[in-house]
Amino acid sequence: MKVLVCWAQISGYMAACWRALAARDGVNLFVLAKGGGDPKEYADFDNSLMRGIPCHLLPVNAPIDPAWLRDFVVAQKPDVVVLNGWFIKPYTEIPFYPELARTKFILGIDNPYLGTLRQRLGRFVMRRFFSRIDRVFVTGERSFRFARLLGFPESRIRRGVYGVDYESFAPLLERRLALSGRWPRKFIYTGRYVPDKAIDVMMDGYTRYRRIVEDPWPLTCCGRGPYASVIRDTPGATNMGFVQPHELPDILVEHGAFVLASRFDPWPLVIVEACAAGLPVVCTEACGSRVELVRDCFNGMGCATENAADFARALAWIHNNHDRLPEFGANARTLAAPYSAQAWCDRWVACLEELCGAAKPDHVRRPEPLAAVGRS
C-alpha cells in the first residue's frame, strides 16, 4: 500500500508514529510536511527527527505552490492520501486531482465539539471536500462528536489520530523510583508560552499554591513564547527554554508531576507523554486529552478553566498526596499505553487494509519504493 501523508509540520510524537508505520510490511510510506523551526509556533524541532522516514520537508515560511504540489503528489501514485485537517488550502485540492480518482482519502482532525455556529456551518461550507473523504481519524470523544456534527457517519470514523513515543517514556517510571531519595517534589510544564496555554493563569495559580502549603515545590517550564517574562518574574519558577524531544526524558525523570492550565487545547499530546512517563497530571477541563487520560484521584486532578484558585487547589492536592504519587504515576502510564506508536500503527494499518481491500497475508513482499521526486 502506497501511503502519502500530507501533514502540517513535523513533531516528535508524529515522527515516532510515522517511523513505526514505515517499518510495517506491506506499507510504503512517504511524508510531506513543513520542517522544524517555526517562529510563529514558537517551536524549533530539529529536522533530524525525520531521519529514516521517507519524506520531503517543505520550508517553514514559504507558501506551498499548487502546481508543484500537484506534480509531486501525482508522481507518488498513492493508494491512500492522509490529510491533516483542512486549514492548509492547497492540501484540500488534492482529493480533486483527476489522476487520483481511485485514491482513498483519510482525514485527521483534533478539533473538539464546541457547538458554535461556525462549526455547524462548516458541514455545509466543506461539503464538497468531505464527500471525498473515506475515513476520519479523530483524537477522542470531543473530536468524535465534532466529526458527527460535520456529517460523517459512525462507520467512517476511527479514534486515534495521534500516538506518542511510548517506548522512550515508559521506562522513566522505574528510573524515577530508583532515584536516590523519595519521589521528586517538582512540577513541570512543557509547551508554548502563548495565550491559549494560559501561562498567566498557571503562574497566578502556582503563586497562590506557594502561599497555602509549607515547603512549596519548584516549577520547571520548558518552551518559548511571548509569556516567557511571566515565568521569569514568578518566584519558584524556572524557564529552561525549548527542549528537543530526545532531551525531554532526562528532564521528566527528575520531576514529580506535570501541570497544564490551558484555556483552549484541543487534545494536548504533552498530557499523553507525561502519562507515558509515569507522571501524575494536573490540567484544566479545556484540555481535550483530559477526557481520555486524566482520572481525578487516580492519576491526577482536573480543575476549572481560567480559575487560578482552582488550579492552586489541584497543585496543593498533588503536594499533599506525595506518598501516593508513585501509584498515580503507574496508573497514568497504564492509561497512556493505548497511545503508543505501535498501538497507533496497528489502528492505522487496520484502516489502510480495510480501505485497500487487502487482508494481511502471512508473508508480505515489500512494495517498490515511491517515486523519489523531491526526497530529502
Q: How far is CA 220 from CA 188, 259, 302, 345, in A?
A: 5, 10, 20, 33
Nearest Cα residue to 372 out of 153, 100, 72: 72
Q: Could you give phi then psi for residue 33, rounded to 5 degrees?
A: -160, 165
Q: What is the pLDDT along the chain (376 residues), one digit of tens a residue?
A: 999 999 999 999 999 999 999 999 999 999 999 997 776 677 778 899 999 999 999 998 889 999 999 999 999 999 999 999 999 999 999 999 999 999 999 999 999 999 999 999 999 999 999 999 999 999 999 999 999 999 999 999 999 999 999 999 999 999 999 987 799 999 999 999 999 999 999 999 999 999 999 999 999 999 999 999 999 999 999 999 999 999 999 999 999 999 999 999 999 999 999 999 999 999 999 999 999 999 999 999 999 999 999 999 999 999 999 999 999 999 999 999 999 999 999 999 999 999 998 544 443 334 344 443 333 3
66 contact partners, CB below 8 Å, separation of at least 6: 90, 93
What nine digits make up the cell of 277?
512517563
CB–CB of 370/28 below 8 Å?
yes
Q: List, for residues 99-114, the tens digit of each pLDDT value.
A: 999 999 999 999 999 9
> pTM of this prediction?
0.92
Residue bearing cell 481519524: 137
Distance CA 267, CA 137 (A): 13
Res 360: pLDDT: 44
Res 365: pLDDT: 37
What the chain holds in terms of domains, given with CATH numbers, is 2-163+340-356 (3.40.50.2000), 166-337 (3.40.50.2000)
Res 45: pLDDT: 85
